[in-house]
């Protein structure tokens, strides 16, 4: 029913807004606002695929003379779209050769065999993978491993005790929450980060390097994961008094099942290591070799091409990836980036952002209170709708608010964008939450009870980031 309502409501809102006589707005600006409401309606209700909704600017903007088709289409071919394309290809390679599973199992094995250390191992492994592959993929990889460990308890004890229930809950929620928090650490870790980077480059000519983002994102992720671990294991679901010595044998067996490291895995690991090295030290290399002109997108595309073009068995002509592998690539997300950037461009060129800027400046609002409310709004709205869609719509507005408050736009945009990845409360908020909920070990009430606490802590951390950390880095 909600989908049917949304399907009709979206274009209806557009028609109503177009029919309004708003003298302080140009006809083009009215079109952009109407389209934004249409897209938000479809995104919230998921009346059609969120990627299909992102194609609407390609139709509406040229028809109503907001921008030409070439100008709108340029947003769908932005350098940020190709940065994420390269990241997706790298993730495909990691998954194809099973390297992501080997890395995850190795991290879990190294953390130890006590229940809390097993939970920590799962969390660290999931978070690390989410920095490089989608949070959905990292959760899907970790879930069967986690289920094997939990089922080992059932086999040994016959039925769950309260402590064992606490352990299983902590593992499941730890995986979902770490997948969400881990993606914040890198530019390619979660789509909202790339939406923001694209907006800054396209509209404000501001570039944030891979390393610069990590200098803010990684510490935040680490602190969030530490807090999540403490809340799960020490406060909400303590599991004192249970022994779990068999877990090490189980993890060792799963590693053994993978066999020795293959030539394919070594090949992907080399490409992965070189790519991350270049991302982290790009600015240093460019300073030593000014004519080099390396960018994060060039590095990302170089990695993608290498995985298709450099054979790991030259004589046999065997490559890591073939084009047919890209059938599993998240093309819809790339279109979603383009739609978000096109909408942001429309808001900028028609003067909507300037209007917001002037209104905020005239209102003389308190900066800290405004920032806190925006973080709070973004974080709890992302529990109900796609965080990519949310950032696509709200980021240009937040930029306008920052300009109106006369503060650097990065100070406000970074914490608000990060807030969109901090959805810990509801199963429908993010794919990792939904995946672990579907396992049957987690109830909605349990996730919500822990999630709201972590959400509120995330708000406090993000406000602290806004106030103290971001001004130091930027």
Per residue in 308-358, pLDDT (tens digit) is 998 887 777 788 999 999 998 888 888 988 888 898 889 888 988 788 878
- Alpha-carbon separation of residue 443 from 99, 385, 398, 433, 451 (angstroms): 32, 20, 35, 11, 12
Residues 179 and 374: their CA atoms lie apart, in Å, by 24
Per-residue model confidence as pLDDT tens digits over 90-112: 889 988 998 888 888 888 788 87
Strand segments (E) across 92-239: none
Per-residue model confidence as pLDDT tens digits over 256-270: 888 898 989 999 999
Residues 46 and 10: their CA atoms lie apart, in Å, by 11
Q: What is the mean pLDDT of the chain?
A: 88
pLDDT for the residue 59: 96
Under a CB-based contact definition with an 8 Å cutoff, are residues 181 and 224 in contact?
A: yes
pLDDT for the residue 158: 54
**Phi, psi for 55 (deg, rounded to 5):** -85, -10
Per-residue model confidence as pLDDT tens digits over 360-411: 777 778 999 999 999 998 998 888 777 888 888 889 999 999 999 999 999 9
Q: Which of these, 385, 387, 397, lies nearest to 418 by C-alpha position?
A: 387
pTM (predicted TM-score): 0.85
Measured torsion, CA atoms of residues 427, 376, 213, 188, in degrees rounded to the nearest 10: 30
Mean pLDDT over residues 237-247, rounded? 71
Half-sphere exposure of 40 (CA within 13 A, CB side): 17
Per-residue model confidence as pLDDT tens digits over 418-436: 999 998 988 878 889 988 8
- Output the CA torsion sign for 385, 386, 391, 393: negative
Mean pLDDT over residues 5-21, rounded? 92
Q: Which of these, 394, 400, 386, lies nearest to 417 by C-alpha position?
A: 394
Per-residue model confidence as pLDDT tens digits over 399-408: 999 999 999 9
Checking if the pLDDT of 57 tops 60, the result is yes
**Selected residue with higher pLDDT from 276 and 154:** 276
- Output the CA torsion sign for 180, 181, 186, 192: positive
């Amino acid at each position: 029913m909600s989908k049917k309502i949304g399907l009709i409501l979206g274009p209806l809102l557009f028609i109503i807004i177009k029919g309004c006589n708003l003298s302080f707005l140009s006809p083009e600006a009215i079109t952009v606002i109407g389209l934004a409401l249409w897209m938000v309606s479809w995104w919230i209700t998921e009346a059609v695929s969120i990627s299909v909704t992102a194609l609407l600017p390609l139709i509406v903007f040229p028809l109503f003379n907001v921008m030409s088709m070439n100008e709108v289409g340029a947003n769908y071919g932005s350098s940020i779209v190709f940065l994420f394309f390269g990241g997706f290809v790298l993730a495909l390679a990691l998954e194809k050769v099973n390297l992501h599973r080997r890395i995850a199992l190795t991290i879990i094995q190294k953390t130890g065999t006590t229940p809390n250390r097993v939970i920590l191992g799962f969390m660290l492994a999931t978070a690390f993978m989410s920095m490089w592959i989608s949070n959905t993929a990292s959760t899907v990889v970790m879930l069967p491993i986690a289920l094997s460990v939990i089922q080992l308890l059932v086999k040994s004890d016959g039925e769950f005790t309260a402590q064992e229930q606490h352990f299983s809950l902590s593992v499941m929620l730890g995986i979902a929450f770490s997948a969400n928090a881990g993606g914040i650490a890198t530019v390619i870790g979660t789509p909202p980060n790339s939406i923001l980077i694209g907006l800054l480059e396209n509209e404000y000519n501001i570039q944030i390097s891979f390393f610069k983002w990590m200098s803010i994102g990684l510490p935040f992720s680490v602190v969030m994961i530490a807090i999540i671990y403490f809340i799960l294991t020490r406060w909400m679901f303590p599991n004192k008094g249970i022994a779990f010595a068999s877990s090490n044998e189980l993890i060792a067996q799963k590693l053994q099942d993978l066999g020795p490291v293959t030539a394919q895995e070594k090949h992907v690991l080399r490409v992965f290591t070189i790519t991350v090295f270049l991302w982290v030290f790009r600015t240093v290399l460019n300073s030593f070799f000014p004519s080099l002109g390396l960018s994060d997108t060039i590095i990302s595309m170089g990695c993608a091409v290498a995985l298709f073009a450099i054979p790991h068995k030259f004589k046999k002509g065997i490559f890591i990836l073939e084009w047919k592998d890209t059938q599993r690539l998240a093309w819809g997300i790339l279109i979603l980036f383009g739609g978000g950037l096109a909408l942001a461009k429309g808001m900028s060129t028609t003067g909507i952002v300037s209007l917001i800027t002037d209104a905020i400046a005239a209102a003389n609002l308190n900066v800290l209170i405004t920032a806190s409310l925006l973080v709070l709004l973004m974080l709890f709205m992302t529990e109900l709708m796609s965080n990519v869609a949310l950032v696509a719509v709200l980021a240009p507005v937040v930029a306008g608010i920052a300009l109106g408050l006369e503060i650097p736009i990065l100070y406000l945009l970074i914490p608000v964008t990060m807030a969109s990845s901090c959805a810990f409360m509801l199963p429908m908020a993010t794919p990792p939450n939904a995946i672990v909920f579907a396992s049957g070990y987690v109830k909605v009430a349990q996730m919500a009870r822990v999630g709201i606490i972590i959400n509120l802590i995330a708000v406090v951390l993000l406000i602290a980031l806004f106030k103290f950390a971001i001004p130091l880095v930027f």
